[in-house]
Amino acid sequence: MNRRTLLSTAALALTLGFGTAAAAQDVTAGFIYVGPIGDGGWTYEHDKGRLAVEEAFGDKVKTIYQESVPEGADSERAITQMALSGADIIFTTSFGYMDPTVSVAAKFPNVKFEHATGYKTADNVSVYSARFYEGRAIQGHIAGSMTKTNKIGYIASYPIPEVIRGINSAYIHAKKVNPDVEFSVIWAFTWFDPAKEADAARALIENGADVILQHTDSTAPQAAAQAAGNVITFGQASDMGDYAPMPRVSSIIDNWAPYYIDRVQAVMDGTWETKETWDGIGPGMVGIGEISDAVPAEVKAEALALKDAIAAGDYHPFTGPLNKADGSVWLAEGEVADDSTLLGMDFYVEGITGDIPQ
């Protein structure tokens, strides 16, 4: 290519660039992921949201992402890098990115930040999360109804309010249908480590659990349950339908796509504002995967009724009377937990034994 064609191409590219910019403002949306997009769970669903953004806006939006970014100091570097590379809005999709996100946001006042599952906001930092505990209430109901050993195993990731809320919600609803139910919680201290998750599932099964709930992102517990036979599991974050109808009997599905499209649209329109979003089954941010035939028909009907009641706002999974694990009263008869208590939840409800790691 000689210099003249090079120059004219550059000129053409410039004109085209300005042309599209004038037609509709181009937006670059960045995503920071905690796991690989192929984890089949949490990150996989966020990436589906990213792809939905691309689909919705076509050429008007450019998306960039970085996978498997460790939480902590390294994520600050990755987020800064993404802001420097020209992203207009950056979604940081794990709890552990909270402080790094806030600190990078202070340095880039013109870039919008969206932090998933956190609680710290700023002028250019929004937070968003889903009310997964609503889905876990339904799982707990099915789990309590179906366990034969009355032992339910729970693979938990980190001791943060989000995870503790899930354990409490599942326990309350399992206990409602089955007063003899017991929960064994294993803290894995990881969001994604298939080998460790498989070992944790096996340890729970060997200790007598015939239902495995998980708050980690891989499908390894499903595989372990399948090998053990006669153990049921639930899809976490994603449908995990490959393991249906047994061992996976239902699932909680995160559906971020509408939110992502909405927020990118807001950046395009210049209407983006700091917002705290916490949506559940009703608005569709939390989906319940198909309840498989392995679940008895009447349990399935009860579970779906529970889902409808939650979606309609007729029932709140944290409704009193409820006591804390130390015996003190938390919610009186008919009282409903307020969001700030839920967001900062750091205690088990009465009946769950064991300590929450600090």
Which residues lie near another protein (CB under 8 A)? 35-36, 38-40, 67-68, 153, 184-190, 192-196, 198-200, 202-204, 206-209, 218-220, 223, 226-227, 242, 353-355, 357-358
351: left (phi over 0), alpha (psi -120 to 50) or beta: left
Residue 88 or 182: the one with the smaller Cβ distance to another protein is 182
Rounded to the nearest whole angstrom, what is the least distance from the CB of residue 323 to another protein in the complex? 20
Residue 64 or 203: the one with the smaller Cβ distance to another protein is 203
Comparing CA positions, the residue from 155, 288, 160 lying closest to residue 216 is 155
Rounded to the nearest whole angstrom, what is the least distance from the CB of residue 326 to another protein in the complex? 16
How far is 31 from 1, CA to CA, in rounded Å? Answer: 36
Rounded to the nearest whole angstrom, what is the least distance from the CB of residue 242 to another protein in the complex? 5
Residue 159 or 258: the one with the smaller Cβ distance to another protein is 159
SS3 4: helix
Residue 2 or 358: the one with the smaller Cβ distance to another protein is 358
How far is 65 from 87, CA to CA, in rounded Å? Answer: 10
SS3 336: strand
Residue 1 or 195: the one with the smaller Cβ distance to another protein is 195
Q: In what order do the strands lie in the sheet with 112-116?
A: 61-66, 27-32, 89-92, 112-116, 125-130, 276-279
SS3 234: strand
Rounded to the nearest whole angstrom, what is the least distance from the CB of residue 193 to another protein in the complex? 4
Rounded to the nearest whole angstrom, what is the least distance from the CB of residue 354 to another protein in the complex? 5
